[in-house]
Copies of this chain bind each other. A is one copy, B any other.
């Protein structure tokens, strides 16, 4: 596998990922996708290694995906669950992480409701020269790198099944629709999609896409860098789009006076078969899940296999996370 040049010990953010790194992840994931299509969908690559899932914020989908990825690699796994934890006994987060380090953890997968926690743990692991890698599985509204990488793998695999690579997105128009302001998924995707040369169009009401939002992700003058465009209406983002990513709308946003009503939101920004008719005829729709049917996307569109990539994203997730665990532990 193409990990000769992989040097990254932690995966905390995609802000500084290079196209070469994206290609390594894509190619490694492609080879694990093949493993997962065999009858015995398992390899002994991480036998005897210990992956610890520290999910301070509860999660089913992402935790299951990481847990399965680790099992498919034959790793041992510990799941830390906040409910029955020492945290309620006053232990600090760093001390919890150090406890799992001392037990022999090789790689920590960390989710926390507050941005920066995986970074703080990674810094402590480095300071201690522990050699343990940290993978950010979602930190507050900051980043969710493995989600953006599985989105990238889903898109590139569709464009070239046997040879997914970053440059396939060059010049593609990709719309990201919905609660961008609060979305770690959107932020990670902004880094990966622009790095791969896509033309990214954000669409949301102003309360969820404040003026200036995109400046932090401004592409540099590298020739391969894509572009970011912001819209407060849906239609200009969808026009001729090759792909549309819609984001989960948290119902709490209404109570925060950021939205008039779910119904009105759906009328203005909800994806439907009708609305995507202005896209490229081969357009595909993505959603990180879990979906609020009838809010950010209509049931009819979500269930239409000619448009929806939602199941492919979940399937890609296992292969991409296997790739990350494998690369970060220096797989043989």
Partner of A64, one of B47, B100, B312, B315: B100
Partner of A47, one of B40, B96, B251: B40
Residue interface mask A97-125, B partner, CB < 8 A = 1 = 01111111000000000000000000000
A114 CB, min distance to chain B CBs, angstroms: 18
A92 at the interface (CB under 8 A from B): yes
Residue interface mask A277-299, B partner, CB < 8 A = 1 = 00000000000011111000000
A41 at the interface (CB under 8 A from B): yes
Q: Which residues of B contact A207 (CB under 8 A)?
A: none
Segment from A23-31, A74-82, A220-228 that makes contact with B? A74-82
Q: Which residues of B contact A50 (CB under 8 A)?
A: 41, 68
A40–B44 CA distance with the chains assembled, in angstroms: 11
Q: Which residues of B contact A38 (CB under 8 A)?
A: 48
Task: Check if A85 sits within 8 Å of B60, measured CB to CB.
Answer: yes
Partner of A289, one of B99, B312, B314: B99
Counting every copy of the chain, the complex holds 3
Residue interface mask A170-184, B partner, CB < 8 A = 1 = 000000000000000
In the complex with contacts A98-B311, A311-B102, A292-B78 CB distance below 8 A: no
Q: Which residues of B contact A251 (CB under 8 A)?
A: 90
Task: Check if A78 sits within 8 Å of B64, measured CB to CB.
Answer: yes
A65 at the interface (CB under 8 A from B): yes
Partner of A59, one of B84, B91, B289, B312: B84
Task: Check if A40 sits within 8 Å of B48, measured CB to CB.
Answer: yes
A27–B133 CA distance with the chains assembled, in angstroms: 32
Partner of A91, one of B65, B290, B312: B290
A211 at the interface (CB under 8 A from B): no
A317 at the interface (CB under 8 A from B): yes
A67 at the interface (CB under 8 A from B): yes
Query: 18 more A-B contacts (CB under 8 A) besides A40-B48, A60-B85, A90-B292?
Result: A36-B104, A38-B48, A41-B49, A42-B48, A59-B84, A60-B86, A61-B99, A64-B80, A68-B76, A86-B290, A89-B290, A95-B290, A95-B291, A95-B293, A99-B314, A102-B311, A102-B312, A102-B314
A-B contact pairs, 13 of them (CB 8 A): A36-B104, A50-B68, A58-B83, A61-B99, A65-B103, A68-B76, A68-B78, A90-B251, A90-B292, A91-B290, A96-B290, A99-B289, A103-B318
